[in-house]
Amino acid sequence: MHKVLEDLLYARYPDIFRERALPPEASAMGRGCTCGDGWFAIIDAVCEQIADSVTQGEMPTVTFRQIKEKVGSLRIHFRGGDAHTRTLVRLAEAFSIRICKECGAPTDIHDVSYSRPSQLCKACNAALTSPNKQT
């Protein structure tokens, strides 16, 4: 994820991302969000729900330890929270396979012709696999 988007998440949810300033050997969050920009809205939405629940006293404090892509979907590792936190995170992870990790457009989850193992929309997949792609 581009630094501008990461910084926006960090500014909006400083408590959730308190480990972002730690070195990578202390917390994987020190590496930043290692996923595409297309999943920004999903991460922002889950953070908003968690932050609101914590503020209302409905949920214990939550700290994100790592955000990454794994096997074509979003993975969020965290500490704290409760069963509701786990539900929100699992829903975000499940939703990510339906959203292009690069641009945020819907993907066709029934189309298995993509040459890459990650979730991309048809346009991003075509751009990445095009023989005319400039490097």
pTM to 2 decimal places: 0.88
Segment 27-34 shows an average pLDDT of 95
pLDDT band at residue 116 under the 50/70/90 scheme = very low
Quickly state the pLDDT bin for 13 (edges 50, 70, 90).
very high
Residue that wins the pLDDT comparison between 132 and 64: 64
Does 61 have pLDDT greater than 50?
Answer: yes
How many other C-beta atoms are found inside a 10 Å radius of the C-beta of residue 8? 14
| String of DSSP letters for 44-65 | HHHHHHHHHHHHTTSS--EEEE
Question: Can you tell me which residue has the tokens 């581009």?
Answer: 2
Average pLDDT, the chain: 90
User: Is 15 or 124 the better-scoring residue by pLDDT?
Assistant: 15
Domain ranges of the chain: 3-129
For the stretch 99-112, pLDDT in tens is 999 999 998 765 55
> How far are the Cα atoms of 27, 39, 57, 107 from residue 96, in angstroms, in the given order?
23, 7, 28, 10
Q: Rounded to 10 degrees, what is the CA torsion of 109, 111, 113, 118?
A: -10
